[in-house]
Each structure stands twice: as structure tokens, then as C-alpha cells.
């Protein structure tokens, strides 16, 4: 019995190791493509590979955020900052926030969230000109002059109906990215 269990365990572990080695590179490539696609959505058109020029900036809160400079030729056209907040209704929300060199928000993309379906998840989809979505109200705004707070807290942001906590968390994640952008001297 011990011999057969040992052989089965060895066979299973060898198969698991083989599958891991075969899928490691495709998974890494898919994650890189997902990151590049998120960067493309939040900054103006660029010609460089922002992932190759990525650097970390401290937030001042004991951690650092990834910064991806987007360049057209030698000119910086924007910065994509991978930000997060733990203040969502269901905890962690990950963002990719794009800024123009002057500090205005170009666009925001939610990368990861576990908010309540039908409520907090309304922060994710893109809107149309006829019916803009929640995140569209941030485009073109400079957090130096535009307070990133919902109306319930005295700010100008229209919260998602029945999802004020998620709306506050969205503002918090974008504010974290802007604070890092500003402290890093990118402006």
C-alpha cells in the first residue's frame, strides 16, 4: 500500500510540475498583455513600451505604487499609475489611473474588484456620450482643483446609486494615485 501511494504521489507531482512548466510562460504573457492593454486605455497614444520603463514611487503610507511612463518619441504624454484601495464594500479594489503630464486625469480603469454585483460593479463599465458611466466624470479633472469626494462628503462626485461605499473607495484609489504622482515630482 505504501509503495502504490508513493508511486501515485510521484506521478501526480511530476504531472503537476510538467503542467506548471508548460503554462508558466503563456500565463506571464497573458498578464503582461492585460497590463499593457490597461495602460493603453488610461493614457494618450504612446510609442514606447511603458512596462520596460516602469518604476516605483513611494506613497508616503509605507508602500509604493507602480508608475508606467507613456512616451510618444521622447516626449512624455502621460503616466499610468497602478493604484488600489482597501476601502471598498468588499475590500480590495485595484485601479490603473492615467494622468497627463500636467496632472489631469486622462482615464481610470478598474483592474480588480469584488464589489456587490449590480451596485458597486457599476464603477467598471464604460459609458456612452448619451449615458456616461460613473468613472467618466473624472476624465479631464485635475485633483489639485477637483476634490475627489462624493457629494455626501461635501465633494462634487456623483456617487453610484446605493453604492456610496464603493464610490468613496473609487475616489480613494484615484486620490492615492494622484498623491503619489504629485509627491514623485512627475508634475
- pLDDT(185) > 80: no
pLDDT at 32: 87
Is 97 part of any domain? yes
| pLDDT tens track for 128-183 | 555 557 788 889 999 988 888 888 888 888 887 777 888 898 899 999 999 998 88
| Contact yes or no for 173/157 (Cβ under 8 A) | no
C-alpha cell at 170: 473609487
pLDDT at 91: 84
Domain coverage including residue 144? 42-183
pLDDT at 121: 63
C-alpha to C-alpha distance for 104 and 78, rounded to whole angstroms: 10
Around 75, how many Cα atoms within 13 Å sit in the side-chain half-sphere?
6
C-alpha cell at 108: 481610470
Q: How far is CA 67 from the centre of its chain?
A: 11
| pLDDT tens track for 74-123 | 899 999 999 999 988 888 989 999 999 999 999 998 888 877 776 666 66
Is 77 part of any domain? yes
Is 169 part of any domain? yes
Number of domains the chain contains: 1
Is 2 part of any domain? no
| Contact yes or no for 84/94 (Cβ under 8 A) | yes
**Residue 128: how many other CB atoms lie within 10 Å:** 9
pLDDT at 131: 54
pLDDT at 187: 59
Is 1 part of any domain? no
pLDDT at 120: 64
Measured at the alpha carbon of residue 34, what is the angle toward residues 105 and 62, in degrees to the nearest 5?
A: 60
Q: Which of the four pLDDT bands, split at 50, 70 and 90, describes residue 126?
A: low
3-state secondary structure of 70: strand
3-state secondary structure of 51: helix
3-state secondary structure of 156: coil
Is 5 part of any domain? no
| pLDDT tens track for 9-31 | 999 999 999 999 999 999 999 98
pLDDT at 84: 92
Please name the helix (run of DSSP H) or strand (run of DSSP E) that holds residue 182, with its range, or none: helix 164-183
C-alpha to C-alpha distance for 103 and 84, rounded to whole angstroms: 18
Higher pLDDT, 79 or 60: 79
Is 7 part of any domain? no
Is 137 part of any domain? yes
C-alpha to C-alpha distance for 5 and 11, rounded to whole angstroms: 10
Amino acid at each position: 500500500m505504501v509503495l502504490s501511494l508513493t508511486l501515485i504521489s510521484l506521478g501526480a507531482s511530476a504531472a503537476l510540475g510538467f503542467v506548471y512548466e508548460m503554462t508558466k510562460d503563456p500565463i506571464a504573457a497573458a498578464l503582461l498583455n492585460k497590463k499593457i492593454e490597461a495602460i493603453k486605455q488610461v493614457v494618450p497614444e504612446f510609442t514606447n513600451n511603458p512596462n520596460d520603463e516602469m518604476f516605483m514611487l513611494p506613497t508616503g503610507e509605507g508602500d509604493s505604487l507602480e508608475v508606467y511612463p507613456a512616451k510618444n518619441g521622447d516626449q512624455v504624454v502621460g503616466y499610468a499609475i497602478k493604484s488600489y484601495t482597501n476601502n471598498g464594500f468588499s475590500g480590495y479594489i485595484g485601479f490603473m489611473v492615467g494622468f497627463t503630464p500636467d496632472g489631469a486625469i486622462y482615464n481610470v480603469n478598474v483592474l480588480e474588484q469584488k464589489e456587490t454585483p449590480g451596485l458597486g460593479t457599476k464603477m467598471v463599465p464604460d459609458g456612452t456620450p448619451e449615458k456616461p458611466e460613473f468613472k467618466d466624470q473624472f476624465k479631464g479633472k485635475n485633483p489639485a482643483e477637483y476634490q475627489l469626494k462624493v457629494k455626501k462628503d461635501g465633494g462634487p462626485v456623483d456617487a453610484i446609486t446605493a453604492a456610496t461605499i464603493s464610490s468613496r473607495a473609487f475616489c480613494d484609489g484615484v486620490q492615492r494615485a494622484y498623491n503619489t504622482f504629485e509627491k514623485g515630482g512627475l508634475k
